[in-house]
């Protein structure tokens, strides 16, 4: 996607919900190459609401990855390993 | 999953190897899933331990070379539903069906206008997104975790959750709208410019 010329972009999208669903499939790696090329290379450069949605979707995913992961406590990991070893020796 | 019908006869050494090389590397992702489902550290620990011991007990039905992460996530999800969901404060299945019917209505897509901006997300450096995620109904929370955090494909999610792919797709879409709604509430309450 090139950086679009904001002056020439539409400020209303008549298909915003449908576009958002398509955008999400693209970001989820579930869209076809053709869908992806048409949307990313064409629609996003002319449609402001979808362009903003794209950046918002990407930012939310980044934030989720950064802020919503918790590592298992080491004592729990050790205790699970221990229990399995005990099971094996039975 | 079809691999459940295949019975292997692994030796103890093979079992140990599968456990160490295929199951243990998923332990952080599994713990996070357990925590996000139960929302309690102690329950998450119990759920994780139960799941790993179950995985070990049923190791003969795990087919080497298949997706261990999806296999483990499915066991954890089922254990959660069978053993934890009942006693937790989550809404019952009936309530949930009403919730999903509501969120699947066309009405809701029109109502939700996520007036959230990238700039206000930049200010959410604390627990805002984690709290927003935890505040979602467990079924909406689950699809976001599986897809956005763990990178499962829709088809894998359908198998983990025992639901059709179409439901995965629509539930994800609603879940993301709801998450944005929560985030935009936070943004407003924090006084950030949202529109």
Distance CA B64, CA B60 (A): 10
Give the least confident one: A8-12, B70-74, B95-99. B95-99
Distance CA B184, CA A75 (A): 38
Cβ contact B53–A17 (<8 Å): no
Q: ipTM of this predicted complex?
A: 0.89
Q: How far is CA A22 from the centre of its chain?
A: 12
**Which residues in chain A are contacts of B133 at CB distance < 8 A?**
64, 68
Is A76 contained in some domain? yes
Other beta carbons less than 10 A from residue B96's beta carbon: 15
Cα distances (angstroms) measured from residue B173 to each of A78, B28, B70, B177 = 38, 26, 21, 6
Cβ contact A71–B19 (<8 Å): no
**Which residues in chain A are contacts of B195 at CB distance < 8 A?**
none
Residue B2 pLDDT > 60, yes or no?
no
Query: pLDDT at position B95, please?
Result: 53
Distance CA B61, CA B10 (A): 10
Residue B192 pLDDT > 80, yes or no?
no
Distance CA B69, CA B29 (A): 9
Cβ contact A28–B145 (<8 Å): no
**Which residues in chain A are contacts of B62 at CB distance < 8 A?**
none
Q: How confident is the model over B12-47, as pLDDT tens digits?
A: 999 999 999 999 999 999 999 999 999 999 999 999
- Site from B44, B55, B148 to mutate, A interface, most A CB atoms within 10 angstroms: B148
Cβ contact A68–B173 (<8 Å): no
Is A85 contained in some domain? yes
Find the farthest-apart pair of alpha carbons in chain B and give their distance in angstroms, rounded.
Answer: 62
Chain B nearest-CA residue for A56: B118
Q: How confident is the model over A40-50, as pLDDT tens digits?
A: 989 999 999 99
**Token pair for B136:** 């979602």
Distance CA B58, CA B7 (A): 9
Chain A nearest-CA residue for B147: A28
Cβ contact B16–A88 (<8 Å): yes
Distance CA B147, CA B55 (A): 22
Is A54 contained in some domain? yes
The structure's pTM equals: 0.86
Distance CA B176, CA A49 (A): 17
Chain B nearest-CA residue for A88: B12
Chain B nearest-CA residue for A83: B53
Where is pLDDT greater, at B123 or B186?
B186
Give how many domains chain A has, as a whole number.
1
Kindly tell me the burial class for residue A86, based on how many C-beta atoms sit within 10 Å of its own C-beta (0-12, 13-18, 19 or more).
Answer: exposed
Q: How confident is the model over B88-142, as pLDDT tens digits?
A: 555 545 555 555 565 555 555 544 555 788 888 877 778 899 999 999 999 999 9
**Which residues in chain A are contacts of B117 at CB distance < 8 A?**
52, 56
Distance CA A55, CA A66 (A): 16
Q: What is the domain extent for residue A76? A: 6-89
Is A18 contained in some domain? yes
Cα distances (angstroms) measured from residue B106 to each of B81, B114, B174 = 29, 15, 11
Domains and CATH numbers, chain B: 2-84 (1.10.1740.10), 93-189 (1.10.10.10)
Is A62 contained in some domain? yes
Is A37 contained in some domain? yes
Is A1 contained in some domain? no
């Amino acid at each position: 996607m090139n950086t679009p010329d904001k002056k020439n972009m539409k400020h209303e999208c008549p298909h915003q919900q449908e576009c958002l669903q398509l955008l999400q499939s693209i970001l989820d790696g579930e869209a076809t190459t053709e869908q992806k090329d048409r949307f990313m290379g064409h629609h996003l450069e002319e449609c402001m609401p979808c362009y903003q949605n794209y950046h918002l979707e990407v930012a939310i995913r980044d934030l989720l990855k950064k802020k919503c992961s918790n590592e298992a406590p080491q004592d729990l990991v050790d205790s699970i390993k221990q229990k399995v070893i005990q099971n094996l020796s039975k | 999953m079809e691999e459940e019908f295949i019975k292997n006869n692994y030796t103890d050494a093979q079992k140990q190897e599968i456990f160490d090389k295929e199951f243990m590397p998923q332990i952080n992702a599994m713990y996070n899933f357990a925590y996000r489902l139960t929302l309690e550290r102690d329950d998450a620990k119990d759920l994780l331990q139960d799941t790993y011991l179950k995985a070990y007990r049923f190791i003969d039905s795990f087919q080497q070379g298949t997706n261990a992460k999806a296999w483990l996530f499915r066991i954890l999800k089922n254990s959660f539903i069978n053993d934890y969901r009942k006693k937790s404060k989550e809404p019952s299945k009936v309530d949930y069906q009403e919730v999903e019917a509501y969120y699947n209505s066309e009405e809701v897509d029109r109502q939700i206008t996520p007036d959230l901006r990238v700039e206000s997300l930049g200010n959410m450096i604390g627990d805002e997104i984690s709290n927003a995620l935890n505040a979602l109904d467990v079924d909406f929370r689950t699809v976001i975790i599986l897809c956005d955090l763990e990178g499962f494909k829709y088809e894998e999610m359908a198998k983990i959750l025992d639901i059709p792919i179409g439901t995965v797709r629509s539930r994800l879409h609603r879940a993301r709208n709801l998450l944005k709604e929560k985030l935009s509430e936070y943004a407003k309450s924090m006084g950030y410019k949202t529109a």
